[in-house]
A and B are shown apart, each in its own frame.
Chain A
């Protein structure tokens, strides 16, 4: 393949391989450590340690997990939490559409790879020029995040349970900070800033009038409205290597 943009089966050389593995593991460690926060916040929301660990194993997509326990912690019905989690999880579908022609997996390999299709694995592999390099980056990042995220969830949940009152340690404030950190990379785009401000304002306006969980779901309507009115593509839609935790180290 002469064109650098072409997707080829070329296997990356040893230097490229070790660079990919090093970067991917660094992202895995940084993101995995954040699982500690999820574990602690989840038991503070009233979930058991087993339920918290099941979420990290089964759902395995950070923003959705935080959303589910966040809505439940605010007193919302588990169903509103689940719907919010699924709406946030829908961005992984878009990542998949981008990654499929690059990764080119079929059958059980594709089914297994899908479980680790998340922000970080996409960010670390989407800009690779060969299938070999993309697969290596995708799997190293995805698997290291998966292992460390789940271990950290367990430690965080056990710690949170031992701590007792989450408010005394400011864990309730940590949830808002976590959502802001997840939102941050997307705020480079001005239209996204507008959507974020409108969504936050609408949600707050609905807080006194509706059941917990409803304001967040209603704010999703802002995305529908602005998306239907707008034309321009969002340049921040797919995260780059600089957007993931530890990416700006």
Chain B
């Protein structure tokens, strides 16, 4: 785990430094930019889906879905970040008590 942390940490720093150091034309290709813009969208959406609906190699519907539902409503109401995240945890925890 430590090796992963150090390598991924250094890798993320190199990605930042490359952006500030490389000439614009090297990475400025429209295709590269489009794909790089879409990667966070695709990965974050996939992470939302798998964190909420996956468990032990199968699809699961449990209290986490209620937490996500709360997060969705909170975001629509433009609540702050922390309210969204803590609220989702509280909703899921309460649902498990019932």
* Residues of A that sit less than 8 Å from B by CB: 30-31, 33-34, 36-37, 47, 51, 54-55, 57-61, 63-64, 66-68, 70, 72, 74-75, 78-79, 81-82, 84-97, 99-101, 103, 105, 110-111, 113-115, 117, 167-184, 186, 192, 195-204, 207-208, 212, 215-216, 218-224, 226-228, 230, 233-234, 237, 245-246, 248-249
Count of inter-chain pairs, beta carbons less than 8 A: 324
Q: In the complex where A110-B21, A176-B51, A176-B64 touch, is A97 in contact with B41 (Cβ < 8 A)?
A: no
Query: Are the C-beta atoms of B51 and A223 separated by less than 8 Å?
Result: no
Query: Are the C-beta atoms of A96 and B86 separated by less than 8 Å?
Result: no
Query: Are the C-beta atoms of B34 and A234 separated by less than 8 Å?
Result: yes
Query: Nearest 4 CB-CB pairs, A to B?
Result: A96-B19, A173-B67, A58-B9, A219-B46
Residue from B47, B48, B51 whose CB has the most chain A CB atoms within 10 Å: B47
- Report B80 CB to chain A, min CB distance, Å: 6
17 contacts between A and B (CB under 8 A): A51-B5, A59-B13, A67-B43, A68-B8, A82-B8, A114-B20, A170-B92, A176-B71, A178-B84, A179-B48, A180-B75, A196-B42, A199-B43, A204-B50, A207-B57, A212-B57, A223-B41
Query: Are the C-beta atoms of A34 and B34 separated by less than 8 Å?
Result: no
Total interface residues on B, CB under 8 Å, equals 77
Contacts of A115 in B (CB 8 A): 13, 16
- Report A104 CB to chain B, min CB distance, Å: 10
- Label chain A's interface by main secondary structure: helix
Query: Are the C-beta atoms of A233 and B33 separated by less than 8 Å?
Result: yes
Q: Pick the residue among A90, A171, A179 that contacts B39 (CB under 8 A).
A: A90
Q: A82-B8, A179-B44 are in contact. List 20 more A-B contacts (CB 8 A).
A: A64-B8, A68-B5, A70-B47, A82-B7, A82-B11, A86-B12, A88-B39, A96-B20, A100-B20, A114-B21, A115-B13, A115-B16, A172-B64, A177-B67, A180-B72, A200-B48, A204-B54, A219-B45, A237-B37, A246-B80
Q: In the complex, A30 Cα to B81 Cα: how many Å?
A: 8
* Residues of B that sit less than 8 Å from A by CB: 1-13, 15-22, 24, 27-28, 30-31, 33-54, 56-59, 63-64, 66-68, 70-72, 75, 78, 80-82, 84-94, 96
Q: In the complex where A95-B19, A246-B80 touch, is A168 in contact with B96 (Cβ < 8 A)?
A: yes
Q: In the complex where A55-B9, A169-B93, A183-B41 touch, is A177 in contact with B16 (Cβ < 8 A)?
A: no
